Amino acid sequence: DAGITQSPRHKVTETGTPVTLRCHQTENHRYMYWYRQDPGHGLRLIHYSYGVKDTDKGEVSDGYSVSRSKTEDFLLTLESATSSQTSVYFCAISGTVVGADTQYFGPGTRLTVL
């Protein structure tokens, strides 16, 4: 299994509070991604990174920010959590562009915003 961990695995928070989710990899892969998964919507890309300090927006980036100061860590921040951000969040990594390489997913973080 690819070395990807996510923390925390579960979190319950209140509306308006900031939340940071962490993705850590030990594979030295260049690309890292944050997705959210909701019933009826499948996986939707929030943000991705193609290198240290190089990030870009995905399909559903509003209300989220990311940072990547080291190859191994990719942080997802909800500046002011809302109930609509209740979801399961997955981090993924790939060594090269996705079409040519496997994308490995972490175990997920279940976030509940009350």
Partner 1 sequence: TQLLEQSPQFLSIQEGENLTVYCNSSSVFSSLQWYRQEPGEGPVLLVTVVTGGEVKKLKRLTFQFGDARKDSSLHITAAQPGDTGLYLCAGVRGSYIPTFGRGTSLIVHP
Other CB atoms within a 10 A radius of the CB of residue 20 amount to 14
In the Cβ-directed half-sphere of 78, how many Cα atoms lie within 13 Å? 25
Question: What are the φ/ψ torsions at residue 85 (nearest 5 degrees)?
Answer: -95, 5
Question: Hey, what amino acid is at 34?
Answer: W
> Would you count residue 53 as binding partner 1 (CB under 8 A)?
no
Closest CA to 87 of 103, 71, 64, 69: 64
> Would you count residue 44 as binding partner 1 (CB under 8 A)?
yes
The one segment of 14-22, 60-68, 69-77, 89-97 that binds partner 1 by CB under 8 A:
89-97
> Would you count residue 46 as binding partner 1 (CB under 8 A)?
no
Contact 83, 110 (CB under 8 A): no
The one segment of 16-24, 61-69, 74-82, 92-100 that binds partner 1 by CB under 8 A:
92-100
Binding residue for partner 1 (CB under 8 A) from 48, 76, 81, 113?
48
Q: Is 23 helix (H, G, I), strand (E, B) or coil?
A: strand
The one segment of 14-22, 42-50, 66-74, 78-86 that binds partner 1 by CB under 8 A:
42-50
> Would you count residue 75 as binding partner 1 (CB under 8 A)?
no
Question: Which residues sit at the interface with partner 1, rule CB under 8 A?
Answer: 33, 35, 40-45, 48, 58-59, 90, 92, 97-100, 102-108
